């Protein structure tokens, strides 16, 4: 079975401080990992895909297969980063679906 764990429900940092949102997964196959962001009462938006190794809005995430982690990082947090962040794990094949973690609510204080 596949599982995604986001150990922090809440994370509060000050503007300009580094931020790291943790995500650990369990999956026996080759994982496809994503970070989604949800701003207050809006739809979920794709932030990052591990396969693309890109940086979006200053955020990066590296897949560590040894530690089964996909932590989201940003060196200098901004107030507009305040949102709910979800890590998601995909399983390939014909019945493709994502398993989501329970989310981390990030608050960036001025």
Partner 1 sequence: NAGVTQTPKFQVLKTGQSMTLQCAQDMNHNSMYWYRQDPGMGLRLIYYSASEGTTDKGEVPNGYNVSRLNKREFSLRLESAAPSQTSVYFCASSSTGLYGYTFGSGTRLTVV
Shortest separation between residue 94's beta carbon and partner 1, angstroms? 6
Residue 42 or 78: which CB sits closer to partner 1? 42
Sign of CA dihedral 42, 23, 106, 35: negative
Distance, in Å, from the CA atom of 106 to the CA atom of 88, rounded to the nearest integer, reads 17
22 interacts with partner 1 by CB under 8 A = no
Residues 41-80 that bind partner 1 (CB under 8 A): 42-46, 49, 51
34 interacts with partner 1 by CB under 8 A = yes
* Candidate residues 68, 82, 98, 107; the one interacting with partner 1 per rule CB under 8 A: 98
100 interacts with partner 1 by CB under 8 A = yes
Q: Contact, 106 vs 81, CB < 8 A?
A: yes
* Candidate residues 40, 66, 96, 110; the one interacting with partner 1 per rule CB under 8 A: 96
Residue 14: name the closest of 69, 82, 103 by CA: 82
Distance, in Å, from the CA atom of 84 to the CA atom of 90, rounded to the nearest integer, reads 19
Residue 65 or 97: which CB sits closer to partner 1? 97
Distance, in Å, from the CA atom of 105 to the CA atom of 10, rounded to the nearest integer, reads 5
């Amino acid at each position: 079975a596949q599982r995604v764990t986001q150990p922090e429900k809440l994370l509060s940092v000050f503007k300009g401080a580094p931020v790291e949102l943790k995500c650990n997964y369990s999956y026996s196959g080759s994982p496809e990992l994503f970070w989604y962001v949800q701003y207050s009462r809006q739809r979920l938006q794709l932030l990052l895909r591990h396969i693309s190794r890109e940086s979006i809005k200053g955020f990066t995430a590296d897949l560590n297969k040894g530690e089964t982690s996909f932590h989201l990082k940003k060196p200098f947090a901004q107030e507009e980063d305040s949102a709910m962040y979800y890590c998601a794990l995909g399983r390939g094949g014909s019945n493709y679906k994502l398993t989501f973690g329970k989310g981390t609510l990030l608050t960036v204080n001025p």
